[in-house]
Structure 1
Amino acid sequence: MTETDSSTSRRKGKFAALILARGGSKGIKLKNIKLLAGQPLISWVLRSAVDSGEFDEVWVSTDHDEIARISEEWGAKVHRRSAEVSHDASTSIETVQEFLKFHPEIELIGQIQCTSPCLQPWHLQGPARMVREGGYDSVFAVSRNHLLRWKEVKKPGEQTEAENFNPAKRPRRQDWAGHLCENGAVYFATRELLMSGLFQGGRVGYFEMGPEYSIDIDTDVDWPIAEQRVIKFGYFGKKKPQGVRLVVFAADGVLTDNMLHITSAGDEFRSYNFSDSIGIQELIQKGMAVRILSCEESITHQKYADKLNLPLTMGCKDKLAVLEEWRKELQLDWLDIAIMGCDTPDFECLKRCGVSGCPADAQAPVQTAVQFVSKLAGGRGAARDFCEYLLLLREKAKSAEEQERCLTPK
């Protein structure tokens, strides 16, 4: 049985967050690490779990190498689940029990659903404190809905009936509290309860999440809806990405496809994407400064920069040093700067800036380091994709103060 500190009524013992992330998803292949709004799906809940500050450890239970690698990059420990709990018929309770058998030191578990990308740190803080300090043995997340239910018709000619309302007195939404339904986002429970085969039992409590945060992803149809929802309601971390004032693009591999073409006469040329230019102009119209960095000296880069009236630094051997000069010149914090790069010379800049992105064909270490990975390749619209992402963040910022009030637990 989980011990309790009698002086504070606070449960003792190690408290772990656990995310189940099998590699064999049937609905969407490798769903758990597919990019959602530029980040692996699992990263959204991992960041909330780590930043909640409620857990002694954050774990991911998986059978897949790439899921394991990405989970560790985002701050989790990895439990390599066995084949016995990795097939289609495996249940969540079996997988959690296997994890607990390997970790006897853990007394409390907060199981977090990987496919709930709008989860906020305070959605975890509330249930965690209910279990650790409030005397609850299990707590799960719910959302309120206002759906009018009707009895299913199973035989031809059979008449249906209302199940939860009177059709003669249809309730107005504002006059009806609705129903609380499990949304699957989180299940907190003691070790004792879980080992008995239950997620809910003993003293049971619930934590209500607003419907705007309660989204699940099962099929490809859910994906674009989730992508827009997470931009507006997702948790972007302790770094506040909405204050961007300077946007920097690497020329080679971002604004171009990283190819250098040489004609038979010895002339060189590179290609640029017109849509990228439109996106850059939109950033400027919104008051953001835009600049270009290039490791190479190229007359075509200069002509492109001149066409858009953008500052350009070429022959740059230390991009971070140049960026530091720009930061001081414009009197910016690193959080005020966004950058899109693609290769080793961009790496330190990507780690330092408040918002970072890369094209779909960027080097693997770069893709791991950034916050946003475009669906498009360099020179093929990736920069425009990043511009749209920054503009969405800007819209998110406009309602940040109001949203902050809504997010504060009552």
Structure 2
Amino acid sequence: MNLAIIPARAGSKGIKNKNLALLNNKPLLYYTIHAAKNSHFIDKIVLNSDGDEILEYGKTQDIDTLKRPSELAQDDTTSDKVILHTLEFYKHYENIVFLQPTSPFRTYKHIDEAFLKFQEERSNALISVTEYDNKILKAFMVNKKGHLQGVYNDKYPFMPRQKLPKTYMSNGAIYIIKTDLFLKNPTFLQEKTNYYIMDEKSSLDIDNAKDLEKANELINYN
């Protein structure tokens, strides 16, 4: 049994009431709920929010809703705390599928493909990613002595980019993990964390008004 958790905080600095902001005349939250409901691998969906308006919208979509306390709805509240709060009320699910509503172009097909990979490769966890410029491996950082050192090692800064390994960035769209492992160590980066690659459009994360404008352009263009 697999539990999908959708976190949707009411407060937002980039866009006021972001999770209910309209994308192609539908609330941003709609797209994640729709994807989760159409996935073949999700047995239960719960919307975790501090906002009454968000929770009311969730009820109209025939999914479970859970109100979180205000102390878990701050700017610095981390995802692990929201998940642990949800698991206090939703126990006995084998896997967690964590779906942030700021990824409207993540579809049920992405979720299903990611979950199949998670299963077939016997992963402990999986994170969706997009390819990222490997030039980052050529970066330096300042160590405790105030001297430069390579971010990863001291060889990469001087190697041609073509010889550097590929790098990936989490796109925030899909996180999957075995529940028992998360309860023991509440992080998605487990000993055997796999990855699922998504393209640039599908990876669009809505953080500010420009992102929402771009999403509206993309959804209407297609």
TM-score range, shorter chain: 0.7 to 0.9
* Structure with the higher fraction of residues in strand conformation: 2
- Residue 68 (structure 2) aligns with: 81
Partner of 1:212: 201
Residue 340 of structure 1 aligns with which residue? none
**5 Å matches for 1:151-300?**
151=139, 171=162, 178-196=166-184, 197-229=186-218, 231=219
Which amino acid is the alignment partner of residue 176 of structure 2? Answer: F
Match of 1:289 in 2: none
Is residue 2:106 matched to residue 1:122? Answer: no
Q: Larger Rg: 1 or 2? A: 1
Q: CA deviation at 1:34?
A: 0.5
TM-score by length of 1: 0.47
| Cα distance in structure 2, aligned partners of 1:166 and 1:72 | 55
Separation (CA, whole Å) in 1 of partners of 2:27 and 2:214 = 16
Output the CA distance in 1 between the equivalents of 2:11 and 2:53.
12
Q: Deviations over 1:279-338 (max 9, x none)?
A: xxxxxxxxxxxxxxxxxxxxxxxxxxxxxxxxxxxxxxxxxxxxxxxxxxxxxxxxxxxx
Q: Percent of counterpart pairs with the same letter? A: 26
Within a 5 Å distance, the mapping from 1:348-367 to structure 2 comes to: none
Offset at residue 77 of structure 1 (A): 1.5
1:215-239 deviations in Å (ceiling 9; x for gaps): 112122222112223x1xxxxxxxx
Q: Which runs of 5+ in 1 are unaligned?
A: 1-13, 232-388, 397-410
From 66, 69, 79, the counterpart of 1:92: 79
Matched, 1:135 2:122: yes
- 2:94 alignment partner AA: E
Residue 186 of structure 1 deviates from its aligned partner by: 1.1
Tell me, yes or no, if the aligned pair for 1:61 and 1:78 is still in contact at 8 Å. yes
State TM-score, norm by structure 2.
0.83
CA RMSD, 1 decimal:
2.8
Instruction: Give yes or no for contact 2:134–2:161 (8 Å, CA) kept in 1.
Output: no
Q: Partners in 2 of 1:75 and 1:210 — Cα distance?
A: 30
Counterpart of 1:41 (choices 25, 28, 31) is 28
Tell me how far apart the structure 2 counterparts of residues 145 and 64 of structure 1 sit (CA, whole Å): 34
The structure whose RCO (Cα within 8 Å, separation 6+) is larger is 2
> Which amino acid in the other structure matches residue 6 of structure 2?
I
Residues 138 and 205, structure 1, Cα contact 8 Å, conserved in 2: yes
Q: Work out whether residues 189 and 200 of structure 1, in 8 Å CA contact, stay in contact via their aligned partners in 2.
A: no
Structure 2 stretches lacking a partner, 5+ long:
none
Deviations 1:20-76 (A, max 9, x none): 001112221110110012211111111111112211111110111111122232342
